A and B are shown apart, each in its own frame.
Chain A
Amino acid sequence: MFKKLFGKKNNSENNNQQTQQIEKENNTTESEENKKEGFFSRLKKGLSKTRKGITEKVDVILKSYKKIDEELFEELEEVLITADVGVNTTMRIIEDVKDKVKERKITEVEEIRELLKEELKEILTEVDENISLNIEPSPAIVLVVGVNGVGKTTTIGKLAYRLKNEGKKVLIAAGDTFRAAAIEQLTEWSNRAGVDIIAHQEGADPAAVIYDGIQAAKARKSDVLICDTAGRLHNKKNLMNELNKIFRIVEREYPEATKEVLLVVDATTGQNAVLQAKTFKEACDISGIVLTKLDGTAKGGVVLAVQSELKVPVKLVGVGEKIYDLQDFDPDNFVEAIFSE
Chain B
Amino acid sequence: MIFESLAEKLQKSLNKLKGKGKLSEKDVKQVMREVKLALLEADVNFKVVKKFVNSVKERAVGHEVMESLTPGQQVIKIVNDELTKLMGEEQKKIEFAPQPPTIIMMCGLQGAGKTTTSGKLGILLKKKGKSPLLVACDIYRPAAIKQLEVVGEKADIPVFSMGDKQNPVNIAKASIEHAKKNGYDVVILDTAGRLHIDEELMDELENIKSEVNPKEILLVVDAMTGQDAVTVAESFNDKLGIDGVVLTKLDGDARGGAALSIRAVTDKPIKFVGMGEKLDQLEPFYPDRMASRILGMGDVLTLIEKAQANIDAKKAMEFEKKLKTQQFTFDDFLEQLQQMKNMGPLDQILEMIPGIGSKQLKKLKVDEKELVKIEAIIQSMTKEERQNPSIINGSRRKRIARGSGTNIQDVNRLLKQFKETKKMMKKMTNMEKAMKKGKFKFPFFR
Q: Enumerate chain A interface residues (CB-CB to B < 8 A).
A: 1-3, 5-6, 8, 11, 14, 42, 45, 49, 78, 81-84, 86-89, 147-151, 157, 178-182, 184-185, 187-189, 192, 202, 233-236, 266, 268-275, 278, 293, 295-299, 302, 305, 309, 321
Contact = CB atoms under 8 A, between A and B. Distances in A.
5 contacts: A42-B199, A151-B111, A180-B146, A180-B151, A180-B154
Contacts of B226: 84, 268-271, 298, 302
Q: Rank and list the top 10 A-B pairs by shortest CB-CB distance, nearest first.
A: A270-B226, A149-B111, A270-B43, A180-B150, A188-B142, A181-B147, A185-B143, A298-B228, A184-B143, A181-B146
B143 A268 contact: no
B282 interface: no
B196 A235 contact: no
B134 interface: no
A179 B154 CA distance: 12
Interface stretch (B248-256, B363-371, B408-416): B248-256
B252 A235 contact: yes
Contact of A148 (B51, B154, B249): B249
Given A233-B251, A275-B3, A84 B51 contact: no
Contact of A88 (B2, B109, B225): B2
Given A5-B51, A87-B37, A180-B154, A81 B195 contact: no
Contacts of B149: 181
Contacts of A45: 199
A151 B154 CA distance: 24
Nearest to A34: B199
A188 B222 contact: no
* Of A42, A297, A305, most B-chain CB atoms within 10 Å: A297
Contacts of B277: 148, 178-179
Given A5-B55, A233-B249, A297 B197 contact: yes
Contacts of A8: 47, 230, 234, 265
Contacts, number: 181
A174 to B, nearest CB: 11
A87 B41 contact: yes
A83 B226 CA distance: 9
Contacts of A149: 110-113, 222, 249
A82 B147 contact: no
- Interface extent on B, as a size class? 35 or more
Contacts of A278: 3
B258 interface: yes
Nearest to A79: B46
Given A78-B46, A81-B40, A188-B143, A297 B228 contact: yes
Residue among A181, A188, A305 with the highest chain B CB neighbour number at 10 A: A181
B258 A270 contact: yes
B111 A269 contact: no
B1 interface: yes
Most buried by A among B224, B231, B232, B234: B224
B124 interface: no
Given A88-B2, A148-B277, A296-B196, A268 B228 contact: yes
Contacts of B266: 2
B37 A268 contact: no
A2 B267 contact: yes
Given A86-B2, A235-B253, 20 more contacts: A6-B48, A6-B265, A8-B47, A11-B51, A83-B227, A87-B37, A88-B1, A89-B2, A147-B224, A148-B277, A149-B111, A181-B143, A235-B251, A270-B225, A270-B258, A271-B41, A293-B111, A297-B231, A298-B231, A302-B226
A295 B195 contact: yes
Interface in B227-269: 227-232, 234, 249, 251-255, 257-258, 263-267
Nearest to B252: A233
Given A81-B40, A272-B254, A302-B226, A296 B109 contact: yes
A149 B196 CA distance: 17
A81 B230 CA distance: 14
Contacts of B147: 179-182, 184-185
B46 A147 contact: no
Contact of A271 (B43, B55, B232, B264): B43
B141 interface: yes
B55 to A, nearest CB: 7
Of residues B150, B258, B263, which shows the largest number of chain A Cβ atoms within 10 Å of its Cβ?
Answer: B150
Contacts of B50: 14
A192 B142 CA distance: 10
A178 B252 CA distance: 18
A192 to B, nearest CB: 8
A270 B224 contact: yes
A81 B264 contact: no
A187 B147 CA distance: 13
Contacts of B146: 180-181, 184-185
A247 B195 CA distance: 33
Contacts of A299: 228
A269 B228 CA distance: 9
B76 interface: no
Nearest to B152: A180
B218 to A, nearest CB: 17
A268 B225 contact: yes
Contacts of A180: 115, 146-148, 150-151, 154
Interface in B17-76: 37, 40-43, 45-48, 50-52, 55
Query: B3, B47, B112, B147: which has the most chain A beta carbons within 10 Å?
Result: B47
Contacts of A89: 2
B384 interface: no
Contacts of B3: 274-275, 278
A149 B254 CA distance: 15
Contacts of A266: 111, 222, 224
